[in-house]
């Protein structure tokens, strides 16, 4: 039976050659591949800045780069990784490729808009690159005012423009998915027959559509304030910088779920496939995606406990923040129940899935530490926070991305990866990751603040561990590239 | 041979009666239309949130700096604003007529209604240009030359005298406004608690929001007119009929949305002081 399965003679990869046949395509599969290439470049670029950061922090003195260069390093790292890599990663690559076939549609509802959103991402990246090569930006990826509007003398405006444009790419992808999932399902593909991957993308798209416009307008306000001297966020002119933080986190907290929800969807597919069981509690898992999306919108001010909001507001947001943990836990418990007595096989995607479960649990639980008002006063803006969000975003989202990429790689390319090397790389990623970021929990708890380029001597051991782990992690990420191109 | 290709061929030939506007990945015109309509509404939702950030900012500062907002609002000319409101509502009507004509196969009427809508839109933008020019003249554009000296554009000081007059002007301005409403200065009008310096700062926030909000709105209108040029051209070419008029309808939705935003902006920006 197996040897009769043949790849069709004409498929999306050889259906037309030459640059134009790719750049002008409206085929969701080709667009997905172009996204894959683009964001891999971005991942590499963001990684280079990470190398810079870890090199600087290998020694206590600021001896590798100057303080302002260091500021630009972590800003560029954060911006590239968040806006140009993580947010598009799973939706734009795997979602684009898989959602239409998964629901029995010929393509996304708006193929031209799909291509447009890829172009917008490139366009945004060009502006970001202009900002980068003309001297960089030193505000941090969060653009806090008034530093970003009146303090900093770096290239905030082109960078803001780049992020604004990339935001529209994200909005249009979300819009396309929502319409596709609503209107393009094959007859008989009811809502509760949708793969959980599709449910996760549906929830993600809701956040993209409802949250991104708010950060877009916030960035517009920062831009006009900086370029034209408006005074909306400038306290010296009666403006309110805390308002900026409200508007920013109203998007950017939900945005962290844009990064993690698709990975949760991938996980549901991986776990049930590699334990050869249907998922336990399908509808609970489906609804928990929606619940995460909804709760995600009411907890933003837990980023502002020390920013001058009232104590009562802080208490309410602290309390609300815990609610997000419920749907996340529902998912983890249902996966565990699915694994129970399953015929589990340990192929590469499953190794990533296992890694995901552990790291996501640690990341999520430390989120609860941070959401606890009293504790956050101590931990805010320390390496504890850095470690928390890397556990979720790198340990969670990228693990899910890598697992999904391996799982669907044969379907996307018609070739199998090297199982042996891929397993090694999955293990390297897991080990390297923990070596990089676990020490950061400790050093943050001990009081090392984030965003400084030098630190007291007593933190050096932990920082060297972290830098060493980063090298292992980097190798782990790079290995699949070598094995895939070498064959 | 690949399945997809076979399918596509069979598809093309079997249903020769397909409308030319049906794209290959949709099964029916109805499905295509529904997808576009859902997409448009989702897009308008994002637009609401886009403007929503500005409205949130406006709400907060209006609460904090009410007096300054009332003062600054007085410097806008209500008659221009009212005229523009009427023009825009009119353009919504002509737009709706355009959609109706497209639905009923009236090609020339569609084109005419659309052109009329664009004309009204341009009138709106023209009035906006006049108003903006006035703000430039009075140094009411936030930024490095912002000066808040006079509350009344009609009695406004020349640009040169403005800074000197700034200091004495806050209190008289309040009285002047009360007098303008016809009541005695104590009845019904709040005394301004702000000194000139505070007024200079906080009216600037009002104008920051004024320019961002109306500027963004105007940008939406310019885009809308651009879209309508295309739609008009397509109607002229006879691309639409009673089975296919979705683009006209969607352009209409967009235009109505832009109108509605103005319906909120007008009272918020022009009528702040009216209930004091
Ligand atoms: C599940 C996905 C999650 C992701 C992707 C994520 C991501 C992040 C990121 C990126 C930051 C740092 C923002 C910055 O640059 O300042 C952060 C901070 C924070 N997170 Fe999470 N997080 C997640 C879950 C949670 C949960 C479940 C909670 C609470 C129940 C939580 C609570 C917090 C708090 C309170 C902070 C702010 C800490 C501070 O700045 O003092 N997070 N998170
Ligand atoms: Cu958060």
Helix axes A241-274, A399-413, angle to 10 degrees: 50
In chain A, the residue whose alpha carbon lies closest to the alpha carbon of B51 is A217
Reported confidence tier of residue B276, pLDDT bands at 50, 70, 90: low
pLDDT of residue A229: 86
Average pLDDT value over all residues in chain A: 94
Query: Are A80 and A128 a contacting pair, CB within 8 Å?
Result: yes
Any ligand 1 atom below 6 A from CB of A207? no
CA A78 to ligand 1: nearest atom: 15
- Interface membership of A379 toward B (CB under 8 Å): no
Question: Ligand 1: does its nearest atom lie under 6 Å from the Cβ of A72?
Answer: no
**For position A151, what pLDDT does the model report?**
86
- The Å distance, Cα A141 to ligand 1 centre, comes to 14
DSSP-derived letter for residue A303 is G
- In total, the C-beta contacts within 8 angstroms joining chain A to chain B are 119
CB environment A363-394: b (16+ within 10 A), e (fewer): bbebbebbbbbebbeebbebbbbbbbbbbbbb
Q: How far is CA B79 from the centre of its chain?
A: 17
- For B86-94, which contacts have Cβ atoms below 8 Å and span 24 or more sequence positions? B87/B120, B87/B123, B87/B124, B87/B127, B88/B120, B88/B124, B88/B259, B88/B262, B88/B263, B89/B259, B90/B120, B91/B116, B91/B117, B91/B120, B91/B121, B91/B124, B91/B255, B91/B259, B92/B255, B92/B256, B92/B259, B94/B120
Q: What is the pLDDT of residues A142-163, one digit of tens each?
A: 999 999 998 888 899 999 999 9
Q: What is the pLDDT of residue A50?
A: 96
In which band, very low, low, confident or very high, does the pLDDT at B138 lie, cut at 50, 70 and 90? confident
Per-residue model confidence (pLDDT) at position B190: 54
Query: Quick one: pLDDT at residue A484?
Result: 72
Q: What is the pLDDT of residues A423-467, one digit of tens each?
A: 999 999 999 999 999 999 999 999 999 999 999 999 999 999 999
Using a CB–CB cutoff of 8 Å, tell me whether A276 touches chain B: no
Least Cα distance to A303 among A193, A380, A231, A211 occurs for A380
Distance CA B262, CA B114 (A): 20
pLDDT band at residue A332 using 50, 70 and 90 as cut-offs = very high
Q: What percentage of chain A has pLDDT greater than the value 90?
A: 88
The CA distance from A446 to A286, in Å, is 39
Grade residue B156 by pLDDT with cuts at 50, 70 and 90. very low
A70 lines ligand 1 (CB under 6 A): no
Model ipTM over 0.90: yes
Residue closest to A172 by CA, chosen among A352, A31, A292, A373:
A31
Q: Would you state the structure tokens that stand for residue A147, as one six-digit string?
A: 């530093």
Q: Which ligand is nearest to the CA of A298?
A: 2
Tell whether A325 is within 8 A of chain B (Cβ). no
Question: pLDDT tens, B51-80?
Answer: 999 999 999 999 999 888 988 998 899 999
CA distance A14 to chain B (A): 12
Summary mean pLDDT of chain B = 81
Chain A residues with beta carbon closer than 8 angstroms to that of B31: 183-184
- What does the pLDDT read at residue B180? 39
Q: How far is CA A366 from CA A54, A339, A381, A473, B232, in A?
A: 23, 25, 14, 21, 57
> Positive or negative CA dihedral for A342, A347, A348, A349?
negative
Does B168 have pLDDT greater than 80? no
Of B39, B54, B204, the CB nearest to A179: B39
> B99 or B198: whose pLDDT is higher?
B99
Average pLDDT value for residue range A311-321? 95
Q: Give the pLDDT score at B193.
A: 66
Q: What is the mean pLDDT of residues B220-232?
A: 97
Q: Nearest CA to A75 among A138, A151, A169, A11?
A: A138
Nearest residue (by CA) to ligand 1, atom 33, is A367
- Is A142 close to ligand 1, i.e. is its CB under 6 Å away? yes
**Model-level pTM?**
0.89
Q: What is the pLDDT of residue A487?
A: 55
Residues facing residue A449 across a β-bridge: A382
Instruction: Kindly indicate the confidence band of residue A2, based on its pLDDT and cuts at 50, 70 and 90.
Output: low
Candidates B38, B50, B211; nearest CB to A213: B50
Ligand 1: does its nearest atom lie under 6 Å from the Cβ of A429?
no
Q: Measured between alpha carbons, how far is residue B69 from residues A231, B164, B176 in Å?
A: 14, 22, 16
Contact A238 B31 (CB under 8 A): no
* Cα of A397 from ligand 2 centre, angstroms: 15
- Find all residues with CB under 8 Å of A89, minimum gap 6, and list them: A39, A259, A262, A397, A398, A401
Distance (Å, whole) CA A316 – CA A310: 10
Mean pLDDT of A76-81: 97
Nearest in space to A244 (alpha carbons), one of A314, A330, A148: A148
Distance CA A31, CA A115 (A): 7
Decide if pLDDT at A77 tops 90: yes
Q: Which residue among A109, A229, A243 places its CB closest to the CB of B143? A: A229
Instruction: Write the residue in B39, B208, B211 that is nearest to A109 by C-beta.
Output: B39
Give the N- to C-terminal CA distance of chain A in Å, as an integer.
Answer: 26
Mean pLDDT lowest among A253-257, B113-117, B189-193, B241-245: B189-193
Mean pLDDT of B180-189: 40
Question: Is the pLDDT at B163 greater than 50, yes or no?
Answer: no
Pick from B242, B264, B229: which is nearest to B54 by CA? Answer: B264
Q: Is it the case that residue B268 has pLDDT exceeding 60?
A: yes
A369-421 confidence digits (pLDDT tens):
999 999 999 999 999 999 999 999 999 999 999 999 999 999 998 888 889 99
Chain A residue with Cα closest to B24: A106
Cis peptide before A146 (omega within 30 of 0): yes
Residue A101 CA to residue A139 CA, distance in Å, equals: 42
- Alpha-carbon distance A192 to A75, whole Å? 42
**Closest chain A residue to the Cα of B33, Cα to Cα:** A183
| Token pair 């790291």 in the structure block, residue | A359
Residue A389 to residue A393: CA distance in whole angstroms? 6
Kindly report the backbone phi and psi dihedral angles of residue A382, in degrees, each rounded to the nearest multiple of 5, phi listed first.
Answer: -110, 175
> What pLDDT is attached to residue B144?
76
DSSP B12: H
CA-based nearest residue in chain A for residue B211: A230
Backbone phi, then psi, for A477, in 5-degree steps?
Answer: -70, -30
């Amino acid at each position: 039976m197996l040897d009769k399965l043949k790849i069709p003679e004409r498929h999306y990869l050889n259906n037309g050659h030459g640059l134009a046949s790719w750049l002008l395509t409206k085929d969701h599969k080709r667009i997905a591949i172009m996204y894959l290439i683009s964001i891999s470049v971005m991942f590499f670029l963001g990684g280079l800045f990470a190398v810079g950061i870890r090199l600087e922090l290998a020694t206590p003195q600021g001896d590798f780069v100057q303080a302002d260069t260091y500021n630009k390093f972590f800003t560029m790292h954060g911006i590239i990784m968040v806006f140009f890599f993580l947010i598009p990663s799973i939706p734009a690559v795997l979602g684009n490729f898989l959602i239409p076939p998964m629901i029995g549609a010929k393509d996304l509802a708006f193929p031209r808009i799909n291509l447009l959103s890829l172009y917008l991402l490139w366009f945004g990246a060009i502006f970001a690159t202009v900002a980068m090569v003309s001297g960089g930006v030193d505000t941090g990826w969060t653009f806090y005012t008034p530093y970003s509007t009146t303090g900093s003398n770096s290239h905030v405006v082109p960078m803001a423009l780049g992020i604004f444009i990339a935001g529209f790419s994200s909005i249009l992808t979300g819009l396309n998915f929502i319409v596709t999932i609503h209107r393009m399902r094959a007859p008989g593909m009811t809502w509760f027959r949708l793969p959980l991957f599709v449910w996760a993308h549906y929830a993600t798209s809701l956040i993209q559509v409802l949250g991104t416009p708010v950060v877009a307008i916030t960035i517009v306000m920062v831009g006009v304030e900086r370029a034209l001297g408006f005074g909306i966020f400038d306290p010296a002119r009666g403006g309110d910088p805390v308002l900026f933080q409200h508007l920013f986190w109203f998007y950017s907290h939900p945005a962290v779920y844009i990064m993690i929800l698709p990975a949760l969807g991938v996980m549901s597919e991986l776990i049930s496939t590699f334990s050869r069981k249907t998922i336990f509690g399908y509808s609970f898992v489906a609804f928990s995606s929606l619940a995460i999306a909804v709760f995600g919108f009411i907890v933003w001010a837990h980023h502002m406990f020390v920013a001058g909001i009232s104590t009562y507001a802080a208490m309410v947001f602290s309390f609300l923040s815990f609610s997000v943990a419920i749907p996340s836990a529902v998912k983890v418990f249902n996966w565990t129940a699915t694994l129970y007595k399953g015929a589990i096989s340990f192929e590469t995607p499953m190794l990533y899935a296992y890694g995901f479960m552990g790291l996501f649990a640690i990341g999520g639980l430390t989120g609860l530490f941070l959401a606890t008002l009293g504790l956050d006063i101590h931990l805010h803006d320390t390496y504890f926070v850095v470690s928390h969000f890397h556990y979720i975003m790198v340990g969670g989202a990228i693990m899910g991305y890598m697992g999904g990429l391996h799982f669907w790689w044969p379907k996307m390319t018609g070739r199998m990866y090297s199982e042996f090397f891929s397993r090694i790389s999955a293990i390297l990623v897991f080990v390297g990751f923990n070596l990089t970021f676990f020490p950061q929990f400790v050093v943050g708890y001990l009081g090392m603040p984030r965003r400084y380029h030098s630190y007291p001597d007593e933190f050096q051991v932990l920082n060297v561990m972290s830098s060493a782990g980063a090298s292992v992690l980097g190798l782990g990420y790079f290995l699949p590239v070598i094995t895939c191109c070498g064959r | 041979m690949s399945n997809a290709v076979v399918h596509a061929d069979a598809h093309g030939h079997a249903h020769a009666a397909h409308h030319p506007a049906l794209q290959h990945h949709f099964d029916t015109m109805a499905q295509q239309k529904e997808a576009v309509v859902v997409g448009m509404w989702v897009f308008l939702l994002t637009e609401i949130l886009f403007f929503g950030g500005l409205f949130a900012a406006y709400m907060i500062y209006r609460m904090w700096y009410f007096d300054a907002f009332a003062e600054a609002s007085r410097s806008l000319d209500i008659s221009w604003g009212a005229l523009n409101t009427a023009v825009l509502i009119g353009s919504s009507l002509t737009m709706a007529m355009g959609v109706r004509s497209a639905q009923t196969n009236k090609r020339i009427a569609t084109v005419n209604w659309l052109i009329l809508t664009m004309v009204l839109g341009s009138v709106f933008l023209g009035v906006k240009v006049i108003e903006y020019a006035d703000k430039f003249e009075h140094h009411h554009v936030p930024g490095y030359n912002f000066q808040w000296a006079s509350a009344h554009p009609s009695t406004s000081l020349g640009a040169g005298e403005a800074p000197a007059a700034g200091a004495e002007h806050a209190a008289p301005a309040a009285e002047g406004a009360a007098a303008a409403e016809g009541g005695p200065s104590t009845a019904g009008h709040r005394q301004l608690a702000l000194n000139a310096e505070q007024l200079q700062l906080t009216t600037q926030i009002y104008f920051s929001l004024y320019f961002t909000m109306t500027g963004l709105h105007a940008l939406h209108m310019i885009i809308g007119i651009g879209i309508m040029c295309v739609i008009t051209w397509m109607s002229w070419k006879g691309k639409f009929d009673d089975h296919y008029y979705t683009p006209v309808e969607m352009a209409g939705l967009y235009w109505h949305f832009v109108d509605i935003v103005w319906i909120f902006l007008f009272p918020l920006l022009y009528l702040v002081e009216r209930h004091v």
